[in-house]
Structure 1
Amino acid sequence: MLTYFVGLSLFLLCSLTGMKVLITHYSVGKAAQIALAEQYIGIAENIAGQLDKEAYEQFLLTKQDNAHRQEIKTYLEQYRAPMDALFVYILLLDETDISKVMVSALPPHVNDVPIGSPCTVPPAKVIQAKNGLSYYTDIVKGEHDGSYLSVGVPFYSKDGTMLGVLGIDIDAKDLADVSRQVVSSDAFIYGIDVIFAVALLAVVFILNRLYKSRLKRNLKETEEVYLSELEKVMDTIKSSRHDIMNHLHVISGLIDMEMYSDVAEYLKQLKIESQPLDLSLRVKSPILLVLFHSKWELAYSLNIQMSFETDWQEYDRIESFDLVKIYANLLDNALEATAVYSGQQPKNIHVICKSLGKKYVFAVENTALLSPEAQKRLFQRGYTTKKSGKSVRGNGLTIVKNTVEKYQGDIYYHYEQEKVFIQIML
């Protein structure tokens, strides 16, 4: 199981980390693309601002490779070479969605682009430029010059007429270099992310072990309660068997003496006294039904009157073994305290198990003699008024207290006129 958990954890760690690295790499690439594009848009605006508009207008009159075009071409080359751009050019916008190259500054090994050649700027960006807006494209795959990113800035004549768009093409390798630099600078953050993921898995593993340990401890406490309860049931059965044998001897003796009317009266009284407590119509929870029956039987064998005040509820907001912990320990303490009681009050135990609005009310009241010290230390772990050396002694009410705290409930304790009253609200 541990090997499976570790293997699955490593697989998830690698998968999630890999996905995060890919997503981060993509995000960094897009961020670098936007940053680089905005930087070159600023450069294009500067170039367009200092462009000789009159010379360019003169060129547009003929659209021939004349002195005005060469002057503009030289001006563009002054900017292209220092910033190592692929191309710096001027586009013409007409009634179509296809821009035309009019003047371009190119690397020495590239032939000049014919005047009016179609440009690869996407139609959506051409429309954007016609609306007077700057643009930048995604990575464009060129036919002969690899991949590049284009930016464009419209520029105008003195009277406000749009003359064209000044464009710059940037090699995609420059963009990749920027992305690599950003990724390299974030390597420490990636490492922190991996460490965090490993730490998170370690925390999950530790919490899982703690949960299993707590569950095991709870099961052990429940097992102790059940074993203790089983022991009491066996004692009750032995006591009942002893009583039955005594009753049979009496009946046999009466029959031998032919006192049949006395036999009939004795059997009638025996039937009344031996009738078990009928809780089946008042307790819906089968767990509580069995527990209350066994405790009533034990109380009956000890000549203790046990009464119940119950609702027709399953009390399903409380886990069954926690419900058993509460009532088994409360009733055990009540039975043992009442059994040794030597005062003037009747030996009674009253059990309350009801719902009050959104709260559950669990309470037990019994006759008992408690010293001032016992009253103060009743809920302390390990304290007991009994002399038995069993390991579960002295922890019953502490278990009840811990269970109540688990559900953020309240415990009310009162002792008056040789009666102990413990009430729990959950």
Structure 2
Amino acid sequence: MRRNAWLLIIILIAVLLGANNTIYYLTTKNSLEDGLQHELDSVAKQIGISIESSRDGAEIYQAEIGRELRAASIATQYALDPDVENVSNDQLEELAKKLDLVDITLLKRTKDNIVLYKSSDPKELGYETDSWDPWYKAFNQLYDDKAVSIDWGQSLTNFWTGPFEFSTTETNNIHKWGYYYDGTTNYMTDPYISYESRQLDYDSATGVGKLIAKTLLANRWLKEITLINPSTFPDGTPQTITDNGEKLSHMTQNPVIAGAYTFKHKNDTANVKLANGTDGKVYQDTVVNGQHVIKLFIPIDVNTKVASMLDGGGEPIPRYVLSLVADYSMIQDTLDKQFFYIGLIIAGVTVLSLLILYWILTAYRRSQDKLARRAQETYLEEINGLFQSIRSQRHDFLNHVQTIHSLAELGKTEELKAYSAELTGEIHQMNDIISIGNPAFAALVRSKMLQAEMLKIRFATEFTDMNKLELGMKSLDMTRLLGNLIDNAFDEVMTYEESRRSVRLSASQKSGYFQFTISNTCTRAEELKDKPLFKAGYSSKAGGHSGLGLHIVKSIVDKYKGVISMAVDEPDTVTFIVKIPY
């Protein structure tokens, strides 16, 4: 039974510590994940602001390139004859080299189209532009109004330019074209430059790509940063077929505007759509490329419409989606370390707790053994005392008979009556004790009688029908209960003069229970009614009493599902009534 109790305690401690460790682990995990999300939010906002600033700078730089192309267009027009028929392709080639341009093309308006009529690049010649939307619209507006009103690109006086882009005539290289027409010629001037010769160096030094690279380098826990075009992301880069049958991809409509996109997940399209549509942040905790990551999708509004980011229909997009991929291993490493240290702490605390518990249980067992041994010794002493009293009476019986005989012969009737009455009372008292039927109870009563005699206390006892006493309580518990009650009564009456020291003990067998009643003199009985007499440590007596006597009595009564009550039925007398069922 003792082994089972120990095993149960160990299992209970292990379960409690395991539950505590699990709760701590999950709480720490959630806290770290929240922290990572907050850090992702903060970094995303900073990146968004920086990207917009960088992109605005790039747009301004492109605008300067546009002004450069306009100046080149004006210089070209002054160098050439106003009639396109009088301009040769060789002239355009020489002029392009002098102006540091890739090429120069002249566009002529026909009855139903606008064609590339003359060019320093022979591959440009002969192309019709009516399928170049929205370039064809811009060309017609320049011819008709000498100004372009479409809501993207750069419009200047007699001039319009679009973004850097691939073209129908050059599908492998990125160029920026400028278109100039002021009505003084019968052609539109189209000088253009390459991305590599102008914009590339700027973007490499201060562009979005450079910013992303620096951010990733400064934040090792970030695995990837991507700028996503929400309009074209689900379907990929739009493509058109040129007059030569080549596939033309439009740079301005790329699904990935900037950054890399290697951590691909099947839910990315839905998350981009959700973030773009709800103007809210979207998180996804997942495994990509064998790595545990957290992906964040956050929409970034574009302050002004730009030609470098278009939807599938060629219109500027109002916002793009910024995607950040964070390495979850940072959290996992922290959790593993904390879990390891917490495991060590818990193991140490568990061992220490078990040692303390073992010490407490050992000390408690020893105290219980000591208490039981003391009670057993008291019990044996009281039983021996009772037997000694009986043997003394039997031993002195002959002396008593001789004394009675001598008093009778001498005719001392009164002395004989007094002597026999005293002897009879002592015998009756001893017989009453013996008739209790429980040796421990009888021994206790006899011991307290002797104690009362020495303390000059009138100790009266009355026992009625105690034949079932052995069915009610263990002898040890009965001795502790009555012993504490009697001691409590003795302690109280010893505070009064000898004439008022009175204690009464009665025990009787009722229907279904035993009743024990202890009454003693107490001038402050009324004051005790509202006191917590049965509370551990409380004492109404002076002199450093422990206050445990009545608490022990109450605990024993509760153990046997009995009741104890205090009554003040007589003046200056307090009575404790105990009822124990059997």
Cα 1:325–1:234 change in 2 (3 A) is farther
In 2, the alpha carbon distance for the partners of 1:163 and 1:198 equals 64
Cα 1:288–1:239 change in 2 (3 A) is closer
Structural mapping, 1:272-283, within 5 Å: 274-276=427-429
1:137 aligns with 2:283: yes
1:294 aligns with 2:446: yes
Equivalent of residue 483 in structure 2, options 324, 329, 342? 324
1:150 aligns with 2:150: no
- Contact preservation (8 Å) 1:291, 1:328: no
Following superposition, the deviation at residue 92 of structure 1 comes to 4.7
Cα 1:305–1:164 change in 2 (3 A) is same
In 2, the alpha carbon distance for the partners of 1:408 and 1:296 equals 16
- The one-letter code sitting in structure 1 at the alignment partner of 2:548 is Y
In 1, the alpha carbon distance for the partners of 2:532 and 2:11 equals 46
In 2, the alpha carbon distance for the partners of 1:112 and 1:268 equals 111
Which segments of 5 or more consecutive residues in structure 2 lack a partner in the other structure? 60-150, 154-162, 167-173, 175-198, 217-221, 237-253, 305-316, 410-414, 462-476, 504-519, 535-541, 551-582
1:226 aligns with 2:379: yes
Q: Which residue of 1 aligns with 2:564?
A: none
Q: CA offsets, 1:238-260, max 9 Å, x none?
A: 2333566666778899999xxxx
Following superposition, the deviation at residue 166 of structure 1 comes to 3.5
SS in 2 for 1:35: helix
Q: CA offsets, 1:356-409, max 9 Å, x none?
A: 333769xxxxxxxxxxxxxxxxxxxxxxxxxxxxxxxxxxxxxxx999436399
Cα 1:309–1:263 change in 2 (3 A) is closer
Equivalent of residue 118 in structure 1, options 269, 287, 297? 269
Q: Which residue of 2 aligns with 1:239?
A: 392
In 1, the alpha carbon distance for the partners of 2:284 and 2:478 equals 61
- The one-letter code sitting in structure 2 at the alignment partner of 1:156 is D
Q: CA offsets, 1:311-356, max 9 Å, x none?
A: xxxxxxx99627626857998xx9xxxxxxxxxx999974447663
In 2, the alpha carbon distance for the partners of 1:323 and 1:303 equals 19
Equivalent of residue 405 in structure 1, options 537, 546, 553? 546
- The one-letter code sitting in structure 2 at the alignment partner of 1:29 is K
Cα 1:238–1:230 change in 2 (3 A) is same
- The one-letter code sitting in structure 2 at the alignment partner of 1:170 is V
Question: Larger Rg: 1 or 2?
Answer: 2
Task: State the TM-score, normalizing by the size of structure 2.
Answer: 0.40
Following superposition, the deviation at residue 292 of structure 1 comes to 6.7
Q: Which residue of 1 aligns with 2:223?
A: 85
- The one-letter code sitting in structure 1 at the alignment partner of 2:362 is R
Q: Which residue of 1 aligns with 2:94?
A: none
Q: Which residue of 1 aligns with 2:347?
A: 194
Following superposition, the deviation at residue 168 of structure 1 comes to 2.1
Following superposition, the deviation at residue 294 of structure 1 comes to 1.9
Following superposition, the deviation at residue 29 of structure 1 comes to 3.0
- The one-letter code sitting in structure 1 at the alignment partner of 2:393 is S
Q: Which residue of 2 aligns with 1:398?
A: none
Following superposition, the deviation at residue 221 of structure 1 comes to 1.9
- Contact preservation (8 Å) 2:226, 2:322: yes
Q: Which residue of 2 aligns with 1:213?
A: 366
Cα 1:349–1:402 change in 2 (3 A) is closer
1:307 aligns with 2:452: no
In 1, the alpha carbon distance for the partners of 2:227 and 2:328 equals 20
Q: CA offsets, 1:160-200, max 9 Å, x none?
A: xx9446432425xx212342145326744542332122212
In 1, the alpha carbon distance for the partners of 2:226 and 2:544 equals 79
In 2, the alpha carbon distance for the partners of 1:215 and 1:136 equals 65
- Contact preservation (8 Å) 1:136, 1:149: no
- Contact preservation (8 Å) 2:282, 2:297: yes
Cα 1:192–1:146 change in 2 (3 A) is closer
Which segments of 5 or more consecutive residues in structure 1 lack a partner in the other structure? 60-64, 94-98, 257-261, 281-285, 311-317, 335-344, 362-400, 410-426
Structural mapping, 1:3-14, within 5 Å: 11-12=11-12
In 1, the alpha carbon distance for the partners of 2:396 and 2:500 equals 22
Following superposition, the deviation at residue 154 of structure 1 comes to 4.0
Following superposition, the deviation at residue 234 of structure 1 comes to 1.2
- Contact preservation (8 Å) 1:304, 1:347: no
Following superposition, the deviation at residue 89 of structure 1 comes to 2.9
In 1, the alpha carbon distance for the partners of 2:383 and 2:265 equals 101
- Contact preservation (8 Å) 1:121, 1:150: no
- Contact preservation (8 Å) 2:299, 2:319: yes
Task: State the TM-score, normalizing by the size of structure 1.
Answer: 0.51
Following superposition, the deviation at residue 210 of structure 1 comes to 0.9
Q: Which residue of 2 aligns with 1:381?
A: none
In 2, the alpha carbon distance for the partners of 1:2 and 1:293 equals 36
SS in 2 for 1:405: coil
Cα 1:266–1:12 change in 2 (3 A) is closer
Cα 1:229–1:193 change in 2 (3 A) is same
